[in-house]
Structure 1
Amino acid sequence: MSSSKRKAGDVSAKKAKKNKKNGRSKDDDLSDFEDEFKSDVDGDVSDVGSLADEQELESELGPDDGLRVQGPDHVGRLLLCGATNWDLYNRKQAPKGCKNTAVKNIYTPHRFGPLDHVRIRAVASGCSAAHSVIITEDYKVYTLGRNEKGQLGTGDTEMRSQPYFLESMKDMNVVNASCGRNHTLLLTDRGTVYAMGDNKMGQCGVGNSNPNIMSPTRIRYRGPPIVKVVCGGDFSMILDLKGNLHSFGDPEYGQLGHNSSGEYFVTATKLTRAPEKAPKQVTTWIEKTKDHVTPVEVADIVDIACGTNHTVVLDSRRRVFTWGFGGYGRLGHAEPKDEMIPRLVKFFETQGKGIKAVYCGSQFSIAVSEYKMAYLFGKTKNTGDVNMYPKPIQDLSGWSVRSLGAGTTSVVIAADNSTIAFGASPCFGELGHGEMRKSTSVPMEVKALDGVYIEQVAMGQAHTLFIARDSTPEEKERVEQIPVYTP
């Protein structure tokens, strides 16, 4: 695929400049796109995500060389459980203009009526999200849920309880997606990324910080095709074909991995943060001991997960790196310090755990090994102990984890022929155990899904989406026995 690549070295090769304006100096730790596209932080309100820019990015795609990013190879039926009053849940009071304040919780998995006739290839949400993306067998996109910042791509800010077909993406094949608190990333089979929703902190990566991106807009990225997208609360991570990681959005706790929280003084007393408005490559990786910090060479990244304010990645040598907000041990370094640069988790080095996948909830992380073990670090309940370093989840020992979804305090897992869920109160039905057992601190099989093979799980703050396999007459018959939820 022809594309003009921007190397991380180009940035560091430039002399560090200081922009002095109104008596303040702004550190040039911003993206290399900053100089090229002056933002509203510097007083320039030009919309760099204009149509001309879109056309320029499109032309850079070059001729179609047949290279395609592969989506999931499974398809099945969509199931849903948990809180479905999207505007209301996880809030103490209803927002202004919220018409329906009735609690609508589904306590066991249901088929989703509006899309029950459609076969689904992928589902996406996020541990900070109250919205979801549903990708059909033929790679078309539906969005659903909260929409206060335009994150559904509808062009307005009205909540959708019925799935919304994303007409603007109908000519593209969307293979995957991810949801942040109020923004969404879509990945196409040509390795391009489209973003929509809240962009105050640059989390849509379109090169500016216009508050809302109301319809899918190509991100400001030039480089190898993107193969994976992941959203944190107000930041984003993208992984390119060569295993390089790029990040953008809110750098508050160092979660972007650029050795900065983005803070600078606007006046002598007012501190603010400069967002990263376009993708910037993460180039430095370290190992820390009590006395030394040693650079680590990372060849390529193979998996990424983001919590609300932290990031976990896995490289091709099965090493785990974490950074961002360090509270409650979610980084796994046995100390609650924030990390501004990707730091090696020593636990997995010394134990030789053969990690194959990483996942994040809001304030915790999970690493799954090829030896049928899962390790949890961080906080999964509002009271009681926290795991300051990775600890094995004994009840999951021996299960082969295929897919895992993590929310605010809940975890749902597709493993072998079962679905397992656990999470501390408050829960809203996202575990699927029924109204009599809304929460459980011990992993338990979801009885309502006995005999149902779950291909994929995705969790939002307090809702869960499943893809149930229906490729044989027996599987189809079993799925048909699941009740239907129609909003």
Structure 2
Amino acid sequence: MRWFGFGFNAFGQILKVFHPKELRSYVERSGCCLKTSRISASWSRRASLHLDGECVREIATLTLCKLDLNRIGYTSCCFPGYPLNLPLVTGGYIAPKPPFYRPLSPHLTAKSLALGAKHAILLSVSGAVYTWGLGSHGQLGHGGLTSEEEPRVVEALWGMPMSCVATGGWHSVCISDGGDLYVWGWNESGQLGLPSRALCQDTASSPSEKPQDGEKHEVFISIQAFPALLDVTPSCEIRTISCGSRHTAAVTSEKSLLAVGEYGQLGHQTLISLDEPQRVEFFKEQQMCVVDVVCGAWNTFAAVAKEEVACS
């Protein structure tokens, strides 16, 4: 697969900001190419997972970034018992104790887990959705703004099996088995694909002007405290989805990429924020089939299929 990136670039994670740019898809090692198969995005770097090359039988994990660790005050530290040098901020440390472990309820068999800034969303093998953690922005989907210390089922979705969950900084999304998209949480930047007052005021000539008689009153949503079915136009099924801090990106059954939320990380080749999902035309114009998407906090990485695979 070929990977393209766009969005926040202060650390050199991507080669261009709001215009999709192909990442280096291979590295040379012993005369062989290790092709990129997966991207893991973070705040200041991107990590690429590479599969076997023709003459390489091991799996290599590479960190691709332009940070000069020594120049910005990083030191190298070796974890006890492991011959791997890890970059640490001066004064940083590695705790030798094992990670904190707390078992979930026996009836909770997890299929996948997504973590937001201060909340978690779990998809069980039965397709039920559970959330817990901070609820101040409605990101738990229970209809209120209170926090939960234990996993609690999202009752509004009960009886509708879900196939995928994802979470941003303060919002959550999931996809049903039928390809429908449900969203909830914070919508300040339009990241839920619902009308945002902040974005409307940016474009309105007189936002304080009252509607005239007979005009519709626009309903704006700052916080959506329970799951809402998002009506995507034109109608399509959603196959996979990923969330950044204030944006959301999804791959459709037609292998197009949709993006909504805060400006440059949407791939629309503009810095304008959107509160309605729009197709990223770059991939359509290049006749590319998008098959996967991974969002970092402020950037997006999209995978396209091999050239011989035709889009439906």
Partners in 1 of 2:231 and 2:81 — Cα distance? Answer: 44
Flag structure 1 segments of 5+ consecutive residues without an equivalent.
1-79, 83-102, 112-144, 146-159, 286-295, 373-487
After TM superposition, list the pairs within 5 Å mapping 1:49-68 onto structure 2: none
The structure that is helix-richer by fraction is 1
1:174 is displaced (CA, Å) by 0.7
Structure 1 pair 284–276 and aligned structure 2 pair: CA distance change class (3 A): same
Q: In the alignment, which of 278, 281, 284 is matched to residue 232 of structure 2? A: 284
Match of 2:44 in 1: none
After TM superposition, list the pairs within 5 Å mapping 1:91-170 onto structure 2: 162-167=99-104, 169-170=105-106
- Mapped pair 1:312 → 2:249: yes
Q: 1:365-415: CA deviations, max 9, x gaps?
A: 11111128xxxxxxxxxxxxxxxxxxxxxxxxxxxxxxxxxxxxxxxxxxx
After TM superposition, list the pairs within 5 Å mapping 1:224-373 onto structure 2: 224-261=160-197, 274-285=222-233, 296-298=234-236, 300-326=237-263, 329-371=264-306
SS at match of 1:163: coil
Contact 2:113/2:123 (8 A) holds in 1? yes
What is the Cα-based RMSD across aligned positions, in Å?
3.3
1:259 is displaced (CA, Å) by 2.4
Match of 1:218 in 2: 153
Contact 1:253/1:324 (8 A) holds in 2? yes
SS at match of 1:349: helix
1:207 is displaced (CA, Å) by 1.6
Partners in 2 of 1:247 and 1:110 — Cα distance? Answer: 44
SS at match of 1:304: strand
Partners in 2 of 1:105 and 1:171 — Cα distance? Answer: 43
Partners in 2 of 1:219 and 1:262 — Cα distance? Answer: 28
- Mapped pair 1:207 → 2:125: no
Structure 1 pair 175–337 and aligned structure 2 pair: CA distance change class (3 A): same
Q: TM-score, normalised by structure 2?
A: 0.59
Partners in 2 of 1:347 and 1:217 — Cα distance? Answer: 40
Amino acid at match of 1:297: S
Partners in 1 of 2:80 and 2:185 — Cα distance? Answer: 34
1:104 is displaced (CA, Å) by 11
1:219 is displaced (CA, Å) by 1.1
Partners in 2 of 1:336 and 1:237 — Cα distance? Answer: 24
Match of 2:120 in 1: 184
Structure 1 pair 192–330 and aligned structure 2 pair: CA distance change class (3 A): same
Contact 1:207/1:219 (8 A) holds in 2? no
SS at match of 1:221: helix
Structure 1 pair 173–370 and aligned structure 2 pair: CA distance change class (3 A): same
- Mapped pair 1:171 → 2:107: yes
SS at match of 1:330: helix
Q: TM-score, normalised by structure 1?
A: 0.39
Amino acid at match of 1:307: G
Q: 1:53-93: CA deviations, max 9, x gaps?
A: xxxxxxxxxxxxxxxxxxxxxxxxxxx9x9xxxxxxxxxxx
Structure 1 pair 274–259 and aligned structure 2 pair: CA distance change class (3 A): closer
Match of 1:405 in 2: none
Match of 2:30 in 1: none
Aligned residues: 205
Partners in 2 of 1:219 and 1:306 — Cα distance? Answer: 19
Contact 1:262/1:275 (8 A) holds in 2? no
Contact 2:232/2:277 (8 A) holds in 1? yes
SS at match of 2:297: coil
Q: 1:309-333: CA deviations, max 9, x gaps?
A: 000100010011100011xx21111
Contact 2:132/2:152 (8 A) holds in 1? yes
Structure 1 pair 263–322 and aligned structure 2 pair: CA distance change class (3 A): closer
Flag structure 2 segments of 5+ consecutive residues without an equivalent.
1-60, 64-73, 83-94, 201-207, 209-219, 308-312
Amino acid at match of 1:227: S
Partners in 2 of 1:170 and 1:247 — Cα distance? Answer: 28
Partners in 1 of 2:170 and 2:271 — Cα distance? Answer: 21
Match of 1:13 in 2: none
Question: What is the aligned-residue identity percentage?
Answer: 25
SS at match of 2:99: strand
1:163 is displaced (CA, Å) by 2.7
1:355 is displaced (CA, Å) by 1.3
Q: 1:191-219: CA deviations, max 9, x gaps?
A: 10111101001101112111x21111111
Contact 1:220/1:278 (8 A) holds in 2? no
Amino acid at match of 1:276: Q
